[in-house]
């Protein structure tokens, strides 16, 4: 099994929920990570992908959890998984963050399919964490790109600004602010 995939061992979602904000409850697997003759291959999967077919690498860590890039070995397809620790969001200090996570999932669903917005693939939870699965954007953060490049044309600046304004307009049409999102 992959290095970071161990956090999922034994607690996998019944299904990947893409149709509502309801997070699905995990099911308990046997201690074996290899399917027995009684288990179907799906019993040994995350997001319908076998553990053995995923390479998982931690991208970064934040106040509430970590983000991972998952790569299918057989296809090279990548996706990102933002894992948020339930123990950190259930403290008195952060008591409203459970609602914020549900709201984030609703917003991602609403904005799904818009240009320049990461694709939302689904969300689920296990005993310890809530997981939000999204398209992986390998280009990095816009601010880092701008600083590294140093200067760029007015046309490029206008294109970037237009994309950001379209995103902000989409967020406002849904009644949310865009302060927590990265370009």
List, as residue ranges, the binding site for ATP: 82
| SS3 of the chain | CCCHHHHHCCEEECCCECCCCCCCCEEECCCCCCCCCCCCHHHHEECCEEHHHEEEEEEEECCCEEEEEEEECCCCCEEEEEEEEHHHHCCCCCCCHHHHHHHHHHHHHHHCCCCCCCCEEEEEECCCEEEEEEECCCCCCHHHHHHHHCCCCHHHHHHHHHHHHHHHHHHHHCCCCCCCCCC
N residues, the chain:
183
Binding residues: 82
CB 66 within 8 A of CB 57: no
């Amino acid at each position: 099994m992959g290095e970071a995939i161990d956090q999922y061992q034994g607690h996998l979602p019944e299904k990947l929920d893409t149709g509502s904000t309801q997070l699905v409850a995990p099911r308990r697997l046997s201690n074996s990570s290899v399917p027995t003759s009684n288990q179907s291959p799906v019993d040994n999967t995350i997001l319908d992908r076998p553990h053995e077919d995923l390479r998982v690498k931690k991208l970064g860590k934040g106040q509430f959890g970590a983000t991972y890039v998952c790569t299918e070995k057989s296809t090279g397809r990548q996706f990102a998984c933002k894992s948020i620790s339930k123990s950190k969001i259930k403290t008195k200090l952060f008591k409203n963050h459970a609602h914020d996570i549900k709201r984030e999932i609703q917003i991602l669903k609403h904005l799904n399919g818009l240009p320049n917005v990461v694709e939302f693939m689904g969300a689920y939870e296990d005993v310890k964490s809530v997981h939000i699965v999204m398209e992986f954007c390998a280009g990095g953060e816009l601010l880092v790109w701008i600083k590294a490049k140093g200067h760029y044309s007015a046309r490029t600046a206008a294109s970037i600004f237009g994309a950001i304004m379209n995103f902000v307009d989409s967020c406002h049409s849904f009644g949310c602010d865009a302060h927590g999102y990265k370009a």
